[in-house]
């Protein structure tokens, strides 16, 4: 028997009052609202009335903390996988708007199709599909949950849909604690659902590109 459905869950809101582009930087934890968002995502997956048999998470604190409600609800121990991590980028530790006003940083924007400011989109897609395929093949019948980040989830959506990976990061459909669900038939992935179970209207969401 193989898995039935795989849910890519984005982490909740991060406590980031300085609005720093945190990327892979350590010690960025969920805010109080972010913990509520993560719980809402777990409640949503639970409401589907489908057995969840495995839980994976990016090693970054915000993803580990967002996995906690899933671990509690489904009685699972999350497995940390580096392939679910946020892409690195040259703007980490800065405020994005201020960085873009500095002409010395414009060189990093020269090839948005790569992108030239961080990990190539093709690399993100390959590592995400790698962990998804391995987990799918190893799981018993049931659903899988993987807690990751906006860029990896959106790039996976684009690759599965057969769309160009180049995009404007401001246009991603991947809200905080959103759930993007996939099924694999043979070797072919398809997206089957997208949900935004958490209220995010007042959330601060400026941590990555």
Strand partners, 104: none
- Write out residues in the chain with pLDDT < 70, as ranges: 1-2
Q: Which CATH code is given to the segment(s) 5-18+29-86+119-195?
A: 3.40.50.1240
Q: Nearest 5°: phi and psi at 89?
A: -155, 160
Q: Would you state the structure tokens that stand for residue 94, as one six-digit string?
A: 């800065």
* Structure confidence at residue 43 (pLDDT): 98
Question: Can you tell me the distance from the alpha carbon of 123 to that of 209, in angstroms, rounded to the nearest whole number?
Answer: 15
pLDDT digits (tens, 9 = 90+) for 86-120: 999 999 988 888 888 888 888 888 999 999 999 99
Question: Can you tell me the distance from the alpha carbon of 77 to that of 86, in angstroms, rounded to the nearest whole number?
Answer: 21
Q: Would you state the structure tokens that stand for residue 8, as one six-digit string?
A: 């890519």
* Structure confidence at residue 1 (pLDDT): 59
pLDDT digits (tens, 9 = 90+) for 2-20: 689 999 999 999 999 999 9
For the chain, the structural domain boundaries read 5-18+29-86+119-195
Span between the terminal Cα atoms of the chain, in Å: 38
């Amino acid at each position: 028997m193989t898995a039935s459905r795989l849910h890519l869950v984005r982490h909740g809101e991060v406590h980031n009052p300085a609005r720093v582009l945190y990327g892979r930087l350590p010690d960025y934890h969920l805010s109080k609202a972010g913990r509520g968002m993560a719980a809402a995502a777990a409640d949503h997956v639970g409401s589907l009335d489908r057995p969840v048999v495995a839980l994976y998470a990016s090693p970054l604190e915000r993803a580990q903390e967002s996995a906690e409600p899933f671990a509690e609800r489904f009685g699972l121990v999350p497995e940390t996988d580096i392939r679910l991590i946020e892409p690195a980028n040259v703007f980490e530790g800065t405020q994005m708007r201020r960085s873009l006003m500095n002409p010395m940083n414009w060189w990093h924007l020269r090839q948005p199709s790569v992108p030239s400011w961080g990990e190539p989109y093709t690399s993100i897609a390959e590592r995400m599909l790698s962990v998804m395929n391995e987990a799918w093949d190893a799981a018993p019948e049931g659903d899988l949950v993987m807690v990751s980040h906006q860029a990896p989830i959106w790039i996976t959506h684009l690759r599965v849909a057969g769309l160009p990976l180049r995009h404007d990061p401001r246009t991603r459909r991947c809200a905080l604690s959103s759930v993007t669900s996939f099924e694999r038939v043979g070797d072919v992935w398809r997206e089957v659902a997208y949900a935004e179970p958490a209220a995010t209207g007042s959330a601060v969401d400026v941590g990555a590109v």
